[in-house]
Amino acid sequence: MRAVAPGATGEDHLVRRLTLFDSIMIVVSGTVGPSIFIIPSDVLRAIPDPLLALVMWIVVGGVTLIAGLACAELGAMFPEAGGQYVFLREAYGGFTAFLYGWVLFTAGNSTALASMVIAFALFLGQAVPGLDADHVLFASHVLGLPISVDRGSAIAVGAIIFLTAINIRSVKVAAWLQNVTALAYLLMVLGIVAAGFALGHGDWSHFERHPAGAAASLTVAGFGVAAIPLFFSYDGWEFLSWVGGEIKNARRNLPLALLFGILLVIITYLLANAVFLYALPAPELERSSAPAAAAVGALFSSHVGRWVALFIALISFGGASVVVLGGARIYYSMALDGAFFAAMAHLHPRWKTPVTSLVVQCVWVCVLVLSARYDQLYTCFIFMMTLTYVLTVGAVFVLRRTQPDRPRPYHCFGYPGLPIIYLVVASGFVVSTLLTKPRESLEGLALAAIGVPLYVYWRRRAWKLTA
């Protein structure tokens, strides 16, 4: 039974304005980020065989799709704001769900958002003369501590404030914004692929294995190393479930959007990597810190690098818009349960958006950007969020046993076989992360533990108010 926080207007007051198209674009914008233009070199360094590297993009995309299909069943069962938070609450109880939301607010979602707006500022500075992100605007000492603000941080803060204002004004306007960026990404990738293969200066021989050490360097460990950036390049599809309370006909559209959205991402990732390899041989892509710009420059002209940077800035901005939209709904749902600050459940009386949740999220992200602490927090987040994906897919099994009579408009494809495969693969990834990053993983667990006394306080307060 949900204990509604005092002053909450009720979850049913969220207005369902998001269409199927909006929902698909949320999946695309939420998943695609600057990483697709950077990590192809990381994958090739771990797997120096061009065709096997492309296969890994497909394999990890397929594993992601399995998780998406499991989430689709849960989302159709609980088409309300909060997504994964709600799924974990129903399957494992309020305490587990709170820890998920708490880590998301303090580190996970907030650091991801900070990283996206910083990436937007950095690539915008590369594309537009005079907006160099490293230029220091302010430097002083406050209470004996050195404080400085560069242009990149200022642009990033301005971006998060602007996106928050858009999201407060209307969820539909926010959806329109990320629709534009998602469509721009899809059209740009398809345009580069079509023009690259038809008119670009590439060579099909680049897809052949280079005998100089490539076969000898292929190892099982290499595939594991490649999987780490690949899994996180596919991260972000789950944002759609967070806005389930605002999707029209969510029991139908949420599963369809997850399916079509993840498939679109897999296809465009594969095409982008294929054209990069057509442009440059694998060894050159491995050595490049900006493989997308290097590949496009080789295909067409070195002068297009500025346009690539502008394109990446646009994608980063669109991804940040989705994170702003989705994250606030998690904290809103927690507040409705009496498991977070009660004010976070407040909706704008006219626009029906979680205004307090959006503002608090904005303030915290600005603090992270200006303090430059988001990178350190993000490493703690990796282990915890990987663990929550395992719990989310596991929730399908738990709820089929504990709530067998609840309507399921969509049944997870391939159940139980495919979800079991995902649990095995993802659990192995969790163990691998724990072993390779023990300090960061333990810090993530410690971060979750900090929230325990707060959960006890908020739940006791909710019980007293509803008694």
Q: What is the pLDDT of residue 7?
A: 44
Nearest partner of 367 among 103, 157, 136, 116, judged by Cα = 157
Residue 96 to residue 90: CA distance in whole angstroms = 10
Q: What is the pLDDT of residue 225?
A: 76
Element (H, E) at 192: helix 171-199
Q: What is the pLDDT of residue 141?
A: 65
13 burial type by CB count under 10 A (0-12 exposed, 13-18 middle, 19+ buried): exposed
Residue 227 to residue 62: CA distance in whole angstroms = 12
Residue 89 to residue 388: CA distance in whole angstroms = 12
Q: Are 24 and 240 in contact (CB under 8 A)?
A: no
Q: Are 149 and 370 in contact (CB under 8 A)?
A: yes
Q: What is the pLDDT of residue 274?
A: 95
Residue 245 to residue 254: CA distance in whole angstroms = 10
Cis-peptide, bond into residue 416, ω within 30° of zero = yes
Q: Are 125 and 151 in contact (CB under 8 A)?
A: yes
Structural domain boundaries of the chain?
Answer: 11-466
Residue 97 to residue 243: CA distance in whole angstroms = 16
The string of DSSP letters for 103-121 reads HIIIIIHHHHHHHHHHHHH
169 burial type by CB count under 10 A (0-12 exposed, 13-18 middle, 19+ buried): middle
Residue 111 has, within 13 A of its CA and on its CB side, a CA count of 18
Both tokens of 374, joined, read: 């988001």
**CATH architecture classification, 11-466:** Up-down Bundle (1.20)
All residues at 6 or more sequence positions from 93 whose CB lies less than 8 Å from its CB, including other chains: none
Both tokens of 223, joined, read: 């595939």
Q: What is the pLDDT of residue 6?
A: 44
**Helix/strand/coil (H/E/C) assignment for every residue in 292-337:** HHHHHHHHCCHHHHHHHHHHHHHHHHHHHHHHHHHHHHHHHHHHHC
**DSSP tag of 18:** B
- For the chain, the straight-line distance linking the first and the last C-alpha, in angstroms and rounded, comes to 13
Written as one letter, the residue type at 226 is: A
Cα–Cα separations (whole angstroms), residue 244 to 23, 78, 85, 187: 9, 8, 11, 27
Q: Is the dihedral of CA 187, 203, 123, 113 positive or negative?
A: positive
Residue 245 to residue 2: CA distance in whole angstroms = 16
Q: What is the pLDDT of residue 448?
A: 84
Is residue 191 helix, strand or coil?
helix
Q: Cite the DSSP H helix spans in 200-279.
A: 220-233, 239-242, 250-279
Cα–Cα separations (whole angstroms), residue 28 to 22, 24, 184, 243: 10, 6, 11, 15
Q: What is the pLDDT of residue 144?
A: 61
Is residue 43 helix, strand or coil?
helix
Taking 3-state DSSP, the helix, strand and coil percentages for the chain, each rounded to the nearest 5, stand at 75, 5, 20
The string of DSSP letters for 115-149 reads HHHHHHHHHHHHHSTT--TT-EEEEEEETTEEEEE
Q: What is the pLDDT of residue 4?
A: 46
Q: What is the pLDDT of residue 398?
A: 97
Reading the chain (467 residues) residue by residue, the pLDDT tens digits are 454 444 444 444 678 889 999 999 999 999 987 778 888 988 988 888 899 999 999 999 999 999 999 999 999 999 988 899 999 999 999 999 999 999 889 888 888 888 889 889 988 988 888 888 777 787 776 666 566 788 888 999 999 999 999 999 988 888 898 899 899 889 989 999 999 999 888 899 888 876 654 444 667 667 777 787 888 889 889 999 999 989 999 999 999 999 999 999 999 999 999 999 999 999 898 888 788 888 988 998 877 777 888 888 988 999 899 999 999 999 999 999 999 998 999 999 888 899 999 999 999 999 888 886 666 666 666 677 778 889 999 999 999 999 999 999 999 999 999 999 999 988 887 887 777 778 877 877 888 888 899 999 988 887 776 65
